[in-house]
């Protein structure tokens, strides 16, 4: 027992050191990625007339390109919040996908849960959908887009919401990308209302900080002051010191916004959370302001012409 205690204390001390923590994350996440098979990413664009429900799809603007491209990552409830209630589908993600196409982006709306029959990963992994597996999904999706002849391989962005936003911190880590050996990842990242604290992703999987110390690509983070599912203060206390040290982070918090402020179809949705009952409140003003700031950020970060 004493030996185990000493080992646990030593491990805790090591993981409290930023450089060693980054090395631990880079080693552990690729191991977690073995928990489920690779996703079958779409090879052909879905015609706009058929993009009528939130599901995994590839959308393309008219023309030959090359176009900038984005991968959209959904929340921990997936693209369909209830298989028995279509109104509970995650319609906001379809709306974002259509919005990006209108702005001239090739858009991959990824579904890292549905093909694996995972219904929720809000508390723990389900059916192999771990942090590591999902990080690999996004890095693979970046390489998938780079191979498309109508995509500019140097203008790729990842935009994540809640769970997808959390995974963006892993994908924007130089050490983690290097360990996965799947290419350079994305050129810019956006995280909407991410969880930023310490996370234990189930027994035997990654346990450690979500925000990595070696974020090296432009990263815009949005949080809500009334979000009791992924609290803004967790992000602020970790991201502010990194930005002060020169990390390419931009941070915007909306004092009156709850979690999932862009989810119009889920307005009033409630569920139990770690800090009491969670209620989503759609906020049109915050949605439009964050949308504008996001597209401005991507335009500058990807070097897009006005």
pLDDT digits (tens, 9 = 90+) for 64-117: 999 999 999 999 989 975 556 655 678 899 999 999 999 999 999 999 999 999
CB–CB of 261/283 below 8 Å?
yes
- For helices 131-146 and 163-171, the axis angle rounded to 10 degrees is 70
- Chain position carrying tokens 């990006």: 100
Number of Cβ atoms within 10 Å of the Cβ of 31: 14
Q: Which 3 state secondary structure label does DSSP give 72?
A: strand
Rounded average pLDDT over 150-159? 98
Rounded average pLDDT over 272-283? 84
Q: Which 3 state secondary structure label does DSSP give 258?
A: coil
- Chain position carrying tokens 């360990």: 179
In terms of C-beta density within 10 A (0-12 exposed, 13-18 middle, 19 or more buried), how is residue 177 classed? buried
Residue 196 has pLDDT above 60, yes or no: yes
- The pLDDT score that the predictor gives to residue 203 is 82
- Chain position carrying tokens 């803004």: 232
Residue 20 has pLDDT above 60, yes or no: no
CB–CB of 204/247 below 8 Å?
no
CATH assignment of 2-301, given 3.20.190.10, 3.40.50.1820, 3.30.43.10, 3.40.50.300? 3.40.50.1820
The pLDDT mean for the chain works out to: 90
- The pLDDT score that the predictor gives to residue 266 is 85
Residue 131 has pLDDT above 60, yes or no: yes
CB–CB of 218/251 below 8 Å?
no
- Chain position carrying tokens 């693209």: 79
CB within 8 Å of 302: residues ≥ 6 apart: 68, 155, 156, 157, 187, 188
- pLDDT above 90 covers a percentage of the chain that reads 74
| C-alpha 288 chain-centroid distance | 20
3-state helix, strand, coil in the chain (%, to 5): 40, 20, 40
Rounded average pLDDT over 230-251? 94
Domain ranges of the chain: 2-301
Q: Which 3 state secondary structure label does DSSP give 195?
A: coil
d(C-alpha 109, C-alpha 141), whole Å:
10
| C-alpha 38 chain-centroid distance | 17
Rounded average pLDDT over 41-70? 94
- Chain position carrying tokens 């391989």: 153
CB–CB of 125/114 below 8 Å?
no
């Amino acid at each position: 027992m004493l030996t185990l205690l000493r080992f646990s204390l030593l491990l805790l001390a090591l993981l409290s050191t930023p450089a060693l923590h980054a090395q631990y994350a880079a080693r552990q996440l690729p191991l977690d990625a073995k928990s489920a098979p690779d996703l079958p990413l779409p090879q052909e664009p879905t015609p706009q007339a058929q993009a009528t429900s939130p599901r995994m799809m590839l959308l393309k603007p008219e023309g030959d390109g090359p176009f900038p491209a984005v991968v959209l990552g959904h929340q921990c409830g997936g693209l369909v919040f209830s298989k028995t209630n279509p109104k509970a589908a995650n319609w906001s993600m379809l709306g974002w996908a259509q919005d990006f196409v209108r702005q001239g982006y090739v858009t991959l709306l990824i579904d890292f849960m549905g093909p694996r029959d995972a219904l929720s990963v809000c508390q723990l992994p389900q059916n192999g959908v771990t942090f590591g597996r999902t990080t690999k999904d996004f890095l693979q999706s970046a390489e998938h887009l780079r191979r498309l002849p109508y995509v500019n391989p140097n203008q790729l962005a990842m935009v994540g919401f809640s769970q997808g936003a959390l995974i963006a911190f892993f994908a924007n880590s130089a050490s983690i990308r290097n360990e996965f050996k799947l290419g350079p990842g994305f050129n810019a990242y956006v995280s909407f209302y991410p969880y930023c604290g310490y996370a234990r992703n189930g027994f035997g999987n990654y346990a450690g900080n979500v925000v990595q110390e070696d974020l090296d690509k432009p990263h815009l983070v949005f949080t809500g002051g009334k979000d009791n599912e992924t609290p803004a203060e967790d992000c602020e206390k970790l991201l502010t010191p990194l930005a002060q040290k020169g990390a390419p982070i931009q941070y915007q918090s909306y004092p009156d916004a709850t979690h999932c402020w862009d989810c119009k179809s889920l307005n009033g949705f409630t569920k139990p959370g770690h800090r009491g009952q969670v209620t989503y409140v759609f906020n049109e003003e915050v949605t439009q302001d964050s949308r504008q700031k996001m597209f401005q950020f991507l335009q500058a970060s990807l070097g897009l012409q006005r």
